[in-house]
């Protein structure tokens, strides 16, 4: 492993001198499909950023020859070669440390974890080496690195592969934590993360990879990016605010549609960024609707929802007409049994019930909820 690390270090150290940026392929928007999967969005973002900047490289388990466990890196080894798409041993602590060291030297690594549950093996490098170095060096050391991979519950993978790490990493000063929902989010936020001078934790969702979303032509421009720290109002409303991130945004939108049939107008906010958190957008919405429901997959204690609730209490308490409702995963390790797993993860009907409580409506569900 040490020999491999030294060889990788030599190769990476010579990248700036030996590689020239490839010309970014021109896009014909008229021939571009109007929908894109999250997988395609992530792949295209990686491809374009690697083409534009020779200091960007990928590393992780099976990212090269196998083209990624979820095919996010498909075709990139053939295009950029083994010097920039590095297959690593199954040792997260080892290759994450190599990535952080490369970032110290001015390269821009994108480190893939096959699942963010495995990032626990490398958490010392992420927090103590990546997140704190800029501050501890008085700004002399930048750490432009992205840690990306699937986060949260998938399906039937048990307690050790189902945790949501949004609140874990959002707790740490020096890190930026992004949680894309749509193809536009995935493409724009990943580009912003790779270009950012600071370490970014990029939390994807395995169940969203194959989901298609409508996209605008501007999203396909190679210069497109989504600003870090800005939420998006996915659906406007006037009666209750629902905040969500990642897969839960889709659930919140489904809940809002059900609520609309019962005369409740819900505003759905896609957080996109957990750290920094767009407190201004959240509070502005709550001041309009006077009610708040927070939704997340993670554990409830010390969660993202708890932080949002506190922000609203601090800045907009006098605007609230009802107690804040918090929807989160069950406070238990994720069960393996499918029926228990469903009970442990928030569902659309949970959001509908919470919104009704906030609006002082009957908690009985609509027939199609």
For 71-120, how does the pLDDT look when each residue is reduced to its tens digit (9 = 90+)?
Answer: 999 999 999 999 999 999 999 999 999 999 999 999 999 999 999 999 99
Identical fold, 34-220 and 232-359: yes
Comparing CA positions, the residue from 222, 230, 180, 227 lying closest to residue 201 is 180
Q: Indicate the CATH number for domain 34-220.
A: 3.40.50.970
From the list 48, 125, 161, 184, the catalytic residue is: 161
Q: Which among 31-40, 321-330, 355-364 has the top mean pLDDT?
A: 321-330
Q: Indicate the CATH number for domain 232-359.
A: 3.40.50.920
- Phi, psi torsion values for 51, nearest 5 degrees: -70, -40
Sorted by where each begins, the domain ranges of the chain are: 34-220, 232-359
* pTM of the predicted model as reported, rounded to 2 decimal places: 0.88
CA 146 – CA 197 distance, rounded (Å): 10
% of the chain with per-residue pLDDT over 70: 89
Burial of 247 (0-12, 13-18, 19+ CB in 10 A): buried
Give 108's strand partners.
56
Helix (H, G, I), strand (E, B), or coil: what is residue 158? Answer: coil
CA 311 – CA 278 distance, rounded (Å): 10
State yes or no: is 92 an active-site residue. Answer: yes
State yes or no: is 296 an active-site residue. Answer: no
From the list 92, 267, 297, 341, the catalytic residue is: 92
The answer to whether the beta carbons of residues 116 and 179 sit under 8 Å apart is: no
């Amino acid at each position: 492993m040490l020999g491999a690390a030294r060889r990788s270090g030599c190769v990476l150290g010579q990248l700036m001198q030996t590689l020239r940026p490839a010309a970014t392929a021109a896009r014909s928007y008229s021939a571009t499909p109007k929908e894109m999967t999250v997988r395609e969005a992530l792949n295209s973002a990686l491809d374009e950023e690697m083409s534009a900047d020779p200091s960007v490289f990928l590393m992780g388990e099976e990212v090269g020859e196998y083209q990624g466990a979820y095919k996010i890196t498909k075709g990139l080894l053939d295009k950029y070669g083994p010097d920039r798409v590095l297959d690593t041993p199954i040792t997260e602590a080892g290759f994450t440390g190599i990535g952080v060291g490369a970032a110290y030297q001015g390269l821009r690594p994108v480190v893939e974890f096959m699942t963010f549950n495995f990032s626990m093996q490398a958490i010392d490098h992420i927090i103590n080496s990546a997140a704190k170095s800029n501050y501890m060096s008085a700004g002399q050391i930048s750490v432009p690195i992205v840690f990306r991979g699937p986060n949260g519950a998938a399906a039937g993978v048990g307690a050790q592969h189902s945790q949501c790490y949004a609140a874990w990493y959002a707790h740490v000063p020096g890190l930026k934590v992004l949680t894309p929902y749509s193809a536009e989010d995935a493409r724009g936020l990943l580009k912003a993360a790779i270009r950012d001078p600071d370490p970014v934790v990029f939390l994807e969702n395995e169940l969203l990879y194959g989901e298609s979303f409508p996209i605008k032509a501007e999203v396909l421009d190679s210069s497109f990016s989504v600003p870090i720290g800005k939420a998006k109002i996915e659906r406007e409303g006037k009666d209750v605010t629902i905040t969500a991130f990642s897969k839960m945004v889709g659930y919140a939108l489904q809940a809002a549609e059900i609520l609309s049939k019962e005369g409740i107008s819900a505003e759905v906010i896609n957080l996109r960024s957990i750290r920094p958190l767009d407190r201004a957008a959240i509070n502005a919405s709550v001041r309009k609707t006077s009610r708040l429901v927070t939704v997340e997959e993670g554990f409830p204690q010390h969660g993202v929802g708890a932080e949002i609730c506190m922000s609203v209490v601090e800045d907009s308490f006098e605007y609230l007409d009802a107690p804040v409702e918090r929807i989160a995963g069950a406070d238990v390790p994720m069960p393996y049994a499918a029926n228990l797993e469903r009970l442990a993860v928030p569902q659309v009907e949970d959001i509908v019930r919470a919104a009704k409580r906030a609006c002082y409506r009957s908690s009985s569900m609509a027939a199609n909820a």
